[in-house]
Amino acid sequence: MLTVRALCRDLGLELLAGADAADAPIRWVHISEEDDPTPWLSGGELLLSTGKGIAGEDAQRAFVARLADHGLAGLGLGTGLGIDTVPAALLDAAGERDFPLFEVPYDMPFIAVTERAFTTLVNENYAVLRRSIAAQERLQRIVLSERGLDAIAAALATQIGGALLVFDGRGQPLAQRRFRRDVPTEAVAALSAELATRARAGTADPFAPGHGELAGRALALPVATSPDPGGRPALPQAWLVAIKDGGGLDEFDRLLLHQAVTVVALELLRRRVAGSTERRLAGDVLAQLASGALTGGELARRLEPFGLGARVAAFAFAAAVPGERIENALDAALHDESVAGLAAGAGDLACALVPGYAEEELFELAGRIQGRVAERLGTVVRAAAGRPVPAGEARRTYHEARCALDAGALGASPDGAANGNGGARDVATAAPPRVATYRDLGSFQLLLALQDTEALRLYCDSLLGPLDNGDSAYGGELVRSLEAFIECNGQWEAAARRLYCHRHTLRYRIRRIEELTGRDLGSARDRIEFWLALRGRELAA
C-alpha cells in the first residue's frame, strides 16, 4: 500500500510533520498552485505544490486546514522556486492538524515523485486485480460444481477475513459463514430488519450497516436488481453483506465483493432454473403416475433421482390459496424437514411422494409438514397421507391420499347442502384439521379397491354417461362444472370463479346436469355419488 511515509522513504525525503497520519493510503497524486485546489479533489490524494499561491502566514495556515478538512493524504512542498525553505507557519499548522508534510527539494522534479507514486499504485492495483481474478475464478468453479450458496459464502469469508451473509430481497437469511469471529445474533436480526425496511421503501442502493456491532467494518451490496416493468422502484433479489473480523474493508475486499455479487446472482439463477426444471420433471412424473401411464419398474427408476427408494408414500395438501403457492410452501417444508422426495402441483392441490416410512412415523411427518405449510401460507391447510407401497405402485398411495383428502373435505360439511349463502363454512375459520388417512376413506375405500376394473368403469359411466352422451357438444363443460361445484361445496360464486364463468351460467349447467341424470345436486347423497364417479373415472383412466 502506497503511503506518505513509504513514498518519502523510497525517495529519500524527510517527513517534517504528521508522522502519526503518514500511514494513510495515497489514492492519487495531484499538482496544483491554487490556494484552494479542493474543488478538483475527492480526498485521499497527495498534493504537490510550490506554494506560490499561499503567501503570508494566515494564508498558509488556512491552506493546510483546507487540505486536512478535505481528507488529503498529505502535502509535498517544492522549494527553490519562490520559497527557499518550508515556512514556519506551514509547519506549525501541519503539526497542529497532524497533517503529513514533506519538502521536495529543487533538484528533485515533481515528475520524479509522480512517477514513483504512479508506478507503485499501478503495481498495487495490478496485484489486487490478479488476486481478485483468481478469487472470482474460484467462486465460479464453486457455482459450476453446484456446491451452493454456503460454499460461496465460506470462500468469500476466507478471502476477506470476515463473516459473509446472504439475505433474500426481503431480508430473510439464505446463507451465513464466518472466518474467525461470530456475528452476534442481535446484529443479524438488525440487518434482517433493515433490509426488510429497505424492501418496503423500494431502496436498492449499497449501504454501510449502522448497527453498533458492525459500524465501520461492514458493507451491504444488492444482488441483481432489475427495473420493474410497471415502473416501480427496482428491488434486489438478494443482498450480500460482508463484515470484517477487524478493521475496515480494503480495496481488494471491495473489488472482490462487487465481483461476488455477480457470482451470487449466477448461483441464485442456477438454483431457480434447477428448481423449475426439477418441478417440471416432478409434475410430469406425477401426471403420468396419476394417469397410470407410468408403473412398475419404469416408475421406480423415474423416482430414484428424487431420492426415493423401494417404498414410497404420498401426501396431499389443499388450502384456500392458488395451487402454485401450496406447491412452493410444500417444497420448502420438505427441505426444512430434510426429507427427500418429489413435490408437484395437481390442479388446486399440491402433492408429494416421500420415502415409505412406517405408518405412524409417516402420518406424524405429514402433520409436521402440514404445520410448516400452514405457517408459510398464513392459512389453514388440509392434509392427507397415503400408506407406504412399493415404488412401482405409487399410483395407489397417491390416489389414496387424494381420496382421503376429498373424504375429509366432504366430511367437513355434515349437512352437505348448497345453501343460499354459498355452501359450507370457510375452512380458514376452523381449527387446524388433522391429517386424513385411509381410516377416513369410508366409501372411498371401496372405490379404491375397484380401481382399474370393468366394474369401476361401469359404475362411473352409469352416473356420468348421460352427461357425455346426452349433450355431446357440451358434455365436457358439464363434467368440469359438476366437479368444480362439488369441490367448492356447492358455493356458486367460488365455483363460477374457478370455471371463469358467470354464476347464472353455472346455475344453468347444474340444472342441465340434473335434467340429464335425474339426480338432485341439493342432495348430499347424490353429490357424494357424483364425486365418487368423478374420482373413479380418474382412477380407471
For residue 69, what is the domain's CATH number? Answer: 3.40.1390.20
pLDDT of residue 416: 35
For 449-462, how does the pLDDT look when each residue is reduced to its tens digit (9 = 90+)? 545 555 566 667 77
Buried b (16+ CB within 10 A) or exposed e, 487-498: bbbbbbebbbeb
Q: Which of 187-196, 203-212, 446-455, 502-511 has the lowest mean pLDDT?
A: 446-455
**Domain end call among 381, 416, 442:** 442
One domain for residues 329 and 433: yes
One domain for residues 166 and 261: yes
pLDDT of residue 443: 57
One domain for residues 89 and 44: yes
Percent of the residues in the chain that have a pLDDT greater than 90, as a whole number? 18
Q: Is residue 328 part of a domain?
A: yes
Helices (H) and strands (E) in the chain, counts: 17, 14
One domain for residues 40 and 180: no
* CATH assignment of the domain containing 199: 3.30.450.40
Task: Give 459's Cβ-side CA count (13 Å radius).
Answer: 22
DSSP string across 107-172: TS-HHHHHHHHHHHHHHHHHHHHHHHHHHHHHHHHHHHTT--HHHHHHHHHHHHTEEEEEEETTS-
DSSP state of 294: S
Is residue 323's pLDDT more than 90? no
pLDDT of residue 61: 93
Is residue 425's pLDDT more than 60? no
One domain for residues 189 and 88: no
pLDDT of residue 370: 92
One domain for residues 86 and 150: no
pLDDT of residue 539: 61
Other CB atoms within 10 Å distance of the CB of residue 430: 11
Pairing mode of beta strands 45-49, 74-78: parallel
Domain encompassing residue 300: 292-442
Distance CA(90)–CA(380), nearest Å, equals: 76
pLDDT of residue 169: 80
State residue 505 phi and psi, 5-degree precision: -65, -45
The closest alpha carbon to 28, from 345, 208, 351, 251, belongs to 251
Buried b (16+ CB within 10 A) or exposed e, 90-113: bbebbeebebbbbbbeeebeeeeb
* CATH assignment of the domain containing 514: 1.10.10.2840
**How many residues are there in the chain?**
541
Is residue 86's pLDDT more than 60? yes
State residue 43 phi and psi, 5-degree precision: 105, 145
For 375-421, how does the pLDDT look when each residue is reduced to its tens digit (9 = 90+)? 888 899 999 998 899 988 888 888 888 878 877 665 544 333 333 33
Q: Is residue 126 part of a domain?
A: no
Find the DSSP H helices in 179-243: 185-201
For 81, counting Cβ atoms within 10 Å of its Cβ (0-12 exposed, 13-18 middle, 19+ buried), the class is exposed
One domain for residues 260 and 303: no
Task: Indicate the number of domains in the chain.
Answer: 4
Q: Is residue 130 part of a domain?
A: no
Is residue 541's pLDDT more than 70? no
Distance CA(101)–CA(221), nearest Å, equals: 37
Cell of 449: 379397491
The helix/strand/coil state of 239 is strand
pLDDT of residue 436: 87
- Cite the beta strand spans of 400-467 per DSSP E: none
Pick the residue with more confidence: 416 or 276? Answer: 276
Q: Can you tell me the mean pLDDT for 181-199?
A: 86
One domain for residues 98 and 148: no
One domain for residues 462 and 343: no
Is residue 475's pLDDT more than 70? no
Q: Is residue 375 part of a domain?
A: yes
**Domain end call among 390, 416, 442:** 442
The closest alpha carbon to 314, from 260, 371, 356, 276, belongs to 356
One domain for residues 329 and 259: no
Asked if residue 77 lies in contact with residue 51, where contact means CB atoms within 8 angstroms, the answer is: yes
pLDDT band at 424 (very low <50, low <70, confident <90, very high): very low
Q: Is residue 388 part of a domain?
A: yes
Q: What is the 3-state secondary structure (H, E, C) of 36-75?
A: CCHHHCCCCEEEEECCCCCCCHHHHHHHHHHHHHCCCCEE
- What pTM does this model have? 0.45
Is residue 338's pLDDT more than 90? no
pLDDT of residue 235: 67
The closest alpha carbon to 457, from 539, 377, 526, 396, belongs to 539
pLDDT of residue 105: 92
Q: Is residue 391 part of a domain?
A: yes
Q: Is residue 100 part of a domain?
A: yes
One domain for residues 201 and 170: yes
* CATH assignment of the domain containing 304: 3.30.70.120
Q: Can you tell me the mean pLDDT for 328-342?
A: 82
**Domain end call among 269, 300, 326:** 269
Pick the residue with more confidence: 74 or 464? Answer: 74
One domain for residues 307 and 402: yes
pLDDT of residue 68: 93
Distance CA(276)–CA(422), nearest Å, equals: 37
Q: Is residue 51 part of a domain?
A: yes
